[in-house]
Amino acid sequence: MNDLNPSPDFEEKVRHAMKSPDASPEFANRLRNELVRRPVKMKPMIFKPAWALAFMLALMVIVVSAPGLAAALGRVFGYVPEVGLVETTSGLRMLAEPVSATRDGITLTITNVFVYEDRVELKYEVNGIAPENDGWQASDRSTNPTAFCGGVNPGDTYNPEGDARLRLPNGTTLERDYTGKYPQNVFAMQPVYDAAVPSDVTQMTFALKCIPMARLGVLPENWELTFDLATVPAGTVVGEPVIEVPPVIPEEVPASPSTDVVSAPKVTMTLERIVPTDSNTVLYLHFNMENADPSLISIMPRSVYIIDSLGQQIRLIGSFVWQPFEHQVGSSFEFVTESKPASGPLTVVADQVIAYYMPLYTDPPQTTTEEMTFTFDAGENPQYGQKWDLNKTFSIAGYDFEIVSAQAVAFEDLPNRQNFIDGSQGYDYGYQFIVEADPALELIAEMDIHGDEAQCWLTDVNKVETQPLIYTQLCKNGYPKGQVAVTIREMSITLTEDFKVEWKP
290 exposure class (CB count in 10 Å sphere: 0-12, 13-18, 19+):
exposed
User: Is position 412 an interface residue for another protein (rule: CB under 8 A)?
Assistant: no
Q: Which of 13, 118, 363, 375 binds another protein (CB under 8 A)?
A: 13
- Residue 495: CB minimum distance to another protein, A: 17
- Residue 118: CB minimum distance to another protein, A: 30
Q: Which is nearer to another protein, 137 or 159 (CB)?
A: 137
Q: Which of 462, 453, 445, 446 is nearest to 429 (CA)?
A: 453
Residue 402 contacts by C-beta under 8 Å, 6 or more apart in sequence?
A: 391, 392, 393, 394, 435, 436, 437
**Which DSSP category does 145 fall into?**
G
> CA torsion, points 427, 355, 69, 294, in degrees to nearest 10?
-90
- Residue 7: CB minimum distance to another protein, A: 8
Q: Which is nearer to another protein, 318 or 379 (CB)?
A: 318
Q: Which of 35, 64, 71, 73 binds another protein (CB under 8 A)?
A: 35
Q: Which of 407, 271, 429 is nearest to 350 (CA)?
A: 271
- Report the first-to-last Cα separation within the chain, whole angstroms: 57
Q: How far apart are CA 48 and CA 420, in angstroms?
A: 13
- Residue 266: CB minimum distance to another protein, A: 27
Q: Which is nearer to another protein, 34 or 498 (CB)?
A: 34
CB–CB of 431/458 below 8 Å?
no
Task: Fill in the amino acid letter for 309.
Answer: S
User: Is position 102 an interface residue for another protein (rule: CB under 8 A)?
Assistant: no
User: Is position 46 an interface residue for another protein (rule: CB under 8 A)?
Assistant: yes
**Which DSSP category does 465 fall into?**
T
- Residue 79: CB minimum distance to another protein, A: 16
User: Is position 20 an interface residue for another protein (rule: CB under 8 A)?
Assistant: yes
User: Is position 222 an interface residue for another protein (rule: CB under 8 A)?
Assistant: no
Q: How far apart are CA 457 and CA 402, in angstroms?
A: 22
Q: How far is CA 374 from the centre of its chain?
A: 30
Sign, CA dihedral 131-134-136-139, equals: positive
Q: Which of residues 125-184 bind another protein (CB under 8 A)?
A: 131, 136-137, 141
Q: How many CB atoms lie within 10 A of CB 13?
A: 11
Helix (H) or strand (E) holding 25: helix 25-37
User: Is position 278 an interface residue for another protein (rule: CB under 8 A)?
Assistant: yes
Q: Which is nearer to another protein, 50 or 262 (CB)?
A: 50
User: Is position 109 an interface residue for another protein (rule: CB under 8 A)?
Assistant: no
Q: What is the CA radius of gyration of the chain?
A: 26
Q: Which of 129, 268, 141, 112 is nearest to 210 (CA)?
A: 129
CB–CB of 462/442 below 8 Å?
no
Q: Which is nearer to another protein, 202 or 416 (CB)?
A: 416
* Bridge partners (DSSP) listed for residue 460: 472
User: Is position 387 an interface residue for another protein (rule: CB under 8 A)?
Assistant: no
- Residue 111: CB minimum distance to another protein, A: 15
- Residue 137: CB minimum distance to another protein, A: 5
User: Is position 280 an interface residue for another protein (rule: CB under 8 A)?
Assistant: yes
φ, ψ dihedrals at 411, nearest 5°: -55, -40
Q: Which of 249, 421, 452, 464 binds another protein (CB under 8 A)?
A: 421
Q: Which is nearer to another protein, 381 or 418 (CB)?
A: 418
53-61, 158-166, 313-321, 357-365 -> range binding another protein (CB under 8 A)? 313-321
User: Is position 2 an interface residue for another protein (rule: CB under 8 A)?
Assistant: yes
97-105, 161-169, 282-290, 310-318 -> range binding another protein (CB under 8 A)? 310-318
Q: Which of residues 317-346 bind another protein (CB under 8 A)?
A: 317-318, 336, 338-340
Q: Per-residue x/- mask for another protein, residues 53 to 92, rule CB under 8 A?
A: ----------------------------------------
- Residue 31: CB minimum distance to another protein, A: 5
Q: How far is CA 339 from the centre of its chain?
A: 23
* Bridge partners (DSSP) listed for residue 435: 403, 469
CB–CB of 284/333 below 8 Å?
yes
Q: Which of 4, 64, 71, 464 binds another protein (CB under 8 A)?
A: 4
User: Is position 464 an interface residue for another protein (rule: CB under 8 A)?
Assistant: no
Q: Which of 15, 170, 222, 260 binds another protein (CB under 8 A)?
A: 15
Residues of the shown chain interacting with another protein in the complex, contacts defined by CB under 8 A:
1-6, 10-24, 27-28, 31-32, 34-38, 40-44, 46, 131, 136-137, 141, 278-280, 302-303, 315, 317-318, 336, 338-340, 416, 418-419, 421
